[in-house]
Structure 1
């Protein structure tokens, strides 16, 4: 193959190796970014659960405030309304979080919590009616709803525990993916650089060695030694140069042979003339 093709192909091969290494690194980086994206999503879900938990606790506290201040009509109405507002807020957050969570255990838990929370609301309303009927006796209202918030509380606690664990796992996976992407990118860069160096050395040798041999042959011929054996092993420009030197060496041998033969003929003729044979 001629150098006019060999060199561009070599450079193209090196560029291809470097490009492949770069694409491999980008692919690994994209996978790492996707993992981080999942970690961010789970972190957002964990934050949403904490907000839901806070709203649920607020709802329970508003119920306690209703019982404690129930004898004052204005205070009782204010805190009972606050309880119902917190209840609606919890229900809205449950619906939103349920739509965001993927199918599986966590979505089942939020659905169970939603149903348990709805049932709790009905039980607390019955408790409120008993509280009012008992002349706003806080102990009656408290006894009426005793343990009614346990089921939703336990479900919400379990959901929070699972999402926090999933968040920790996602963060750990993202960190591992980032480290793996960095390592793979470095390996790809090293391998790409190594391949480029090897390709450069091979191409350099394929050019420098024949040229060095051509210089050596030329110097030998210039010194008058025409016995050098010239071997042509390639068909590129360096091979053509060696072939030209080989042809030149052959031609010079023929010329020297003819000159020598002519000189011998002249010598013989001169000897004959000298001896009077002519």
Structure 2
């Protein structure tokens, strides 16, 4: 099947190569025309002589032709902008007069009104400071503080009125009113100083100070209020007049600019329609005829600008399309042949893909079973490892018990040895006690003998030795009792010595048996340790088996996954083969449709 497939490919490639070569020639020619410059791309390909142009001619005339349309548009835009600029400058001139008038208003009446308002406010603060002197100036320090603030406000009022009187452009009558107000304010200051003297002379009596200046500030306040009202009315009137004049100027400027813009727009529309729209529409109609396959007519547009160059390019495109469709007609047969061969190759690929899918499915099933077996082995190995772990733990526990038993028996052996030593010491002490008893028994015998001799001597003495005889008798009795007791003690010590000897022999036998037990337990511990090592080796081998089984499972899963992916790729290839078959059918239909189009264009 692979050999047949390669044979079909080898037969298919030349046809595809011929088709690609024809398309490359056609595509290169189209790129040469679409780039906007007339090229010699059709030279040497069998085109008619009128399709070949010399590049040097267009390179020489290109600079001149590329400027004309640009100059027309730039001239139109420049004239429109110049006219709009003249109108804008005229409106700006009118508005600048209004701005100058408004600036004069700000620097004149409005500024004067602001200064009068400021002086009025400062005068009210001055009067308030006078009241602070009367009401809060109980002590000299407080009185001096508020009086200093009073004089400060008085100085500010005089300064503001002086600034208003010296302001440029102030009306003469207004300047006279301000000067009179300034003089009255200075006179008012003298009255307030007299009132302060009266207040101080009265010992800080507020009524005395207030009576001294009662009503003296009313004329100044009324005159200042009248001046404020006069300046406000004057500034408002001038502001209204300037605003009305500005509105009229803006209205006239807007009307003039709208009229000029309308005139410029109509002129530009007429020029654009004559120089651009009409030639472009003619070229559009000609290109539409070319798109319908009508190559008989040629565009006739004699202009020395870009549109003229576009007309020349359209005629060249017409000649090129005629030759291109002639070549496409020759390529249709190759396209149909290539589509047939592609369909046959797609059928072979579909069959091979189906067989590959079946084989891959069988391998995937086998890998699934192998993966399940490996998982079962891994599970049994894990169970064996757990059992080995449990046996290892039990052996370690038994080893610990044996070690504890060895320690206990060793301790017992040491205690038995200590007991044997004690009993041997007891036997030695018993022997020493027997020797002491022998001495005591000898002493008792000698005492008894001496008592007997003393009794004999007392009997010889007669009545004089009676008391001594009684004592000798008592001594003899004690000596006999001592001898009897010594004999009993000696008998007991003999029994103790016999028991101690038997106990030492028994303890020595138990010590020998405990040493044998220690040796046997030590041997059992070593055996348990070897068992533990063997169990650990078994556990390690089980773990290695489980690890190997898991790795085998992982590898099997990877292989299964890869097989699944291969199956998916095979399915995708099968779909692609189906799409290739569909594409080959479409290619055949495209060849038929291309034949019909070429026949229509040829007509």
TM-score range, shorter chain: 0.5 to 0.7
Paired with 1:119 and 1:190, the residues of 2 have a C-alpha distance of 64
Residue 288 of structure 2 is matched in structure 1 by none
1:25-36 correspondence to structure 2 within 5 Å: 25-36=91-102
SS in 1 for 2:166: helix
1:163 pairs with 2:197: no
1:4-153 correspondence to structure 2 within 5 Å: 21-41=87-107, 42-100=109-167, 102-104=169-171, 105-153=173-221
Q: Which moved more, 1:142-151 or 1:169-178?
A: 169-178
**Considering only aligned residues, what root-mean-square deviation do their CA atoms show, in Å?**
3.3
Paired with 1:86 and 1:186, the residues of 2 have a C-alpha distance of 52
Paired with 2:170 and 2:179, the residues of 1 have a C-alpha distance of 11
Paired with 1:101 and 1:65, the residues of 2 have a C-alpha distance of 37
Paired with 1:58 and 1:177, the residues of 2 have a C-alpha distance of 40
> In the TM superposition, what is the alpha-carbon distance from 1:180 to its structure 2 partner?
1.2
Structure 1 residues 211-235: Cα deviation after superposition (integer angstroms, max 9, x where no partner): xxxxxxxxxxxxxxxxxxxxxxxxx
Paired with 1:112 and 1:13, the residues of 2 have a C-alpha distance of 63
Paired with 2:140 and 2:82, the residues of 1 have a C-alpha distance of 81
TM (norm. structure 1) is: 0.60
Q: Is the 8 A contact 1:101 1:107 kept in 2?
A: no
Q: Is the 8 A contact 1:52 1:94 kept in 2?
A: yes
Q: Which moved more, 1:143-152 or 1:115-124?
A: 143-152
> In the TM superposition, what is the alpha-carbon distance from 1:103 to its structure 2 partner?
3.0
Question: Unmatched 5+ residue regions in structure 2?
Answer: 1-77, 269-603
Residue 248 of structure 2 is matched in structure 1 by 180
Structure 1 residues 56 and 101, CA gap change in structure 2 (3 angstroms): farther
> In the TM superposition, what is the alpha-carbon distance from 1:60 to its structure 2 partner?
0.6
Question: Unmatched 5+ residue regions in structure 1?
Answer: 1-11, 201-278
Structure 1 residues 101-155: Cα deviation after superposition (integer angstroms, max 9, x where no partner): 6332332222121111001001111121122222222112111111211121112
Paired with 1:13 and 1:79, the residues of 2 have a C-alpha distance of 74
> In the TM superposition, what is the alpha-carbon distance from 1:157 to its structure 2 partner?
0.6
Structure 1 residues 142 and 13, CA gap change in structure 2 (3 angstroms): same
Residue 259 of structure 1 is matched in structure 2 by none
> In the TM superposition, what is the alpha-carbon distance from 1:68 to its structure 2 partner?
1.3
> In the TM superposition, what is the alpha-carbon distance from 1:98 to its structure 2 partner?
1.8
> In the TM superposition, what is the alpha-carbon distance from 1:14 to its structure 2 partner?
8.7
Residue 221 of structure 1 is matched in structure 2 by none
Residue 212 of structure 1 is matched in structure 2 by none
1:167-246 correspondence to structure 2 within 5 Å: 167-190=235-258, 192=260
Paired with 1:32 and 1:119, the residues of 2 have a C-alpha distance of 43
Paired with 2:138 and 2:165, the residues of 1 have a C-alpha distance of 39
> In the TM superposition, what is the alpha-carbon distance from 1:197 to its structure 2 partner?
8.5
TM (norm. structure 2) is: 0.29
Residue 431 of structure 2 is matched in structure 1 by none
Paired with 2:84 and 2:149, the residues of 1 have a C-alpha distance of 65
Paired with 1:47 and 1:197, the residues of 2 have a C-alpha distance of 50
Higher relative contact order (CA 8 A, sep 6+): 1
Residue 266 of structure 1 is matched in structure 2 by none
> In the TM superposition, what is the alpha-carbon distance from 1:29 to its structure 2 partner?
0.6
Q: Is the 8 A contact 2:115 2:161 kept in 1?
A: no
Q: Is the 8 A contact 2:119 2:157 kept in 1?
A: yes
SS in 2 for 1:100: coil
